[in-house]
Amino acid sequence: METPTTAMFLCTAICVAAVAWLILLLRRKTTATSGRRLPPGPRGWPVVGNIFDLSPLPHVTLAALKHKYGPLIWIRLGSVNTLVISSAEAAMVLFKNHDHSFCNRHLNESLKSDETISATIALSEYGPYWRMMRRLYTTEIFSRKRINDTAPVRRRCVDKMIKWISDEGKGTNTVELRPFLLATSFNLIGNLVLSRDLVDPKSTKGNDFFDLNLELANLIIKPNLANFFPSLRWLDPQGIKNKVKEKLNLILEIVGSFVEERRRMIDVQHIQNREKDFLDVLMEFEGNGKDEPTKISDRNLNMLILELLTAGTETTVTTVEWAMTELLRKPEAMKKVRAEIAQVVGHDRKFAETDIEDLHYLRAVIKETLRLHPGPFLVPRSVLKDTEFMGYWIPKDTQVFINAWGLGRDPSSWDDPVSFKPERFLGSNIDYYGQNFEFLPFGSGRRICPGHPLAHKMLHLMLGSLLQSFEWFLEDGIAPETIDMGEKLGTSLRKATSLKVIPKALVV
């Protein structure tokens, strides 16, 4: 029978052996890179590297390190080499001169729990499949014609949101804004993809979907030993890969039910000459069978729809909630943007997407919100081959973080960078289409977010309609300067506490 002393000895021996093996592995890597100049960065510890140098908000820590190490920072997360892009200049050099070399995706081990994940456009490897999906996205769902043709659908979804909030608030009640933003964004994407609304704020299925997505995101960003030491992937020491797969299967079941309901709806109604949606495009796709699949499997189809639903919803909800928060903290900015909407749109008709180009201050509010509250990093990239970059050697398979949050708050690019000042964008040509490298909420280069033209419409329509339809008040006892501005790290930087407000309906 094994005694406690024996068990302790065995555990210690295994740990020592593992550490010795990892040190040997790292020494081999160091020998292979000797004589080559890597970017500067904090020294790090044996084996673990710089893991313990990062705070729970790593984008903040890495932005601070720029002041010591400059625009390129080299860190080692366990055995994973990592390059951090921390300035507009470095981002420009990457996207203009090295986009191809840096265009692959770095998937952590949590994301490798199911090969279906790599079917998404955001996480697929750079190659024929990615180009095929990019083409489908840009020509079939995010084309200018498709976006313009579906404007009435977005207006209808936003009208429902206004009614939901009005019914809930009744002029005096406190309303939690996020559930209404979630349901509306979800339905906006649902109509593009499946030609139907999917949820309402009290929908059980919708709440299950959102809760599972949040749980999945928390699992994916959770510190995972296998992410830092990929050689331990077969152990799955914390069981995270299995948990990710379990949550993903539950989410895909819900998405599959949305798809089946949509198929039955079309079969029952026998709708003729209807406009094709993205589900039709995916189901009718026929690839060449060589570097493209001949057909898209049901599971991959559900995964692609999940990507559209989550990516489109997360950015929109997070940005609109932060915009409302910033405006409530800055009453003078709230006054200016509402006055502009009253002047340009008036109160005798509803806000329309055609008004956006004439609403300069509203556009500045959206830009300023995206500057201060983008996702923490662009989706991590991986280096395809050994590359000479800005005088440094970057080895193949290096993980690349582009600190979008840090770029937006870099004092070398922005005056008073931590303050909410929409005026900085008035009369400025700076935009979020990937050519102003100090401002990259949607990325840049080959792998820029293909949905940014739709996001542009959705953000302005939702925020503009909320500001036109209601006067907004904080709860009793909450002063503008005491609003909680804490961030919660995820695929985006959500507000840590959901915004609660009192909407007073206006006649439109």
Which residues does 416 contact at the CB level (< 8 Å), separation at least 6? none
Annotated binding site for heme: 449
Specify the pLDDT at position 22. Answer: 54
Residue from 452, 433, 463 nearest 333 by CA? 463
Distance CA 452, CA 315 (A): 10
Rounded distance between C-alpha atoms, residue 30 and residue 48, angstroms? 14
The residues, ordered by sequence, that sit 6+ positions from 377 with a Cβ below 8 Å of its Cβ are: 59, 401, 402, 403, 404, 405
Q: State residue 385's pLDDT score.
A: 95
Q: Note the pLDDT of residue 198.
A: 86
CA–CA gap between residue 270 and residue 51 (Å, rounded):
58
pLDDT of residue 8: 39
Between 10 and 504, the more confident residue is 504
- Structure tokens that stand for 324 in this block: 């409302």
Question: What local confidence, expressed as pLDDT, does residue 10 receive?
Answer: 33
pLDDT the model gives residue 88: 98
Binding site, annotated residues:
449
Closest listed residue to residue 86, CA positions, set 434, 412, 492, 447: 412
Taking the model in full, what pTM does it have?
Answer: 0.91
pLDDT band, very low/low/confident/very high, at 289 (cuts 50, 70, 90): confident
Rounded average pLDDT over 275-284? 87
Cα gap 469→185, rounded to integer Å: 18
Task: Classify residue 434 as left (phi > 0), alpha (psi -120 to 50) or beta.
Answer: left
Q: How many CB atoms lie within 10 A of CB 483?
A: 16
Evaluate if residue 306 carries a pLDDT over 90: yes
Tokens 């309402």 belong to residue: 200
Q: What would the pLDDT profile of 6-29 be if each residue is shown by its tens digit?
A: 333 334 434 443 554 455 455 444
Q: Which residues contact 181 (CB under 8 A, 6 or more apart)?
A: 161, 316, 317, 320, 321, 462
For 455-474, the pLDDT digits (tens) are: 999 999 999 999 999 999 99
Residue 5 pLDDT:
38
Task: Indicate the class that CATH gives domain 127-353+453-507.
Answer: mainly alpha
Dist. CA 103–CA 343, nearest whole Å: 45
Percentage of residues in the chain having pLDDT higher than 90: 69
Rounded to the nearest 5°, which phi and psi values hold at 374?
-80, 180
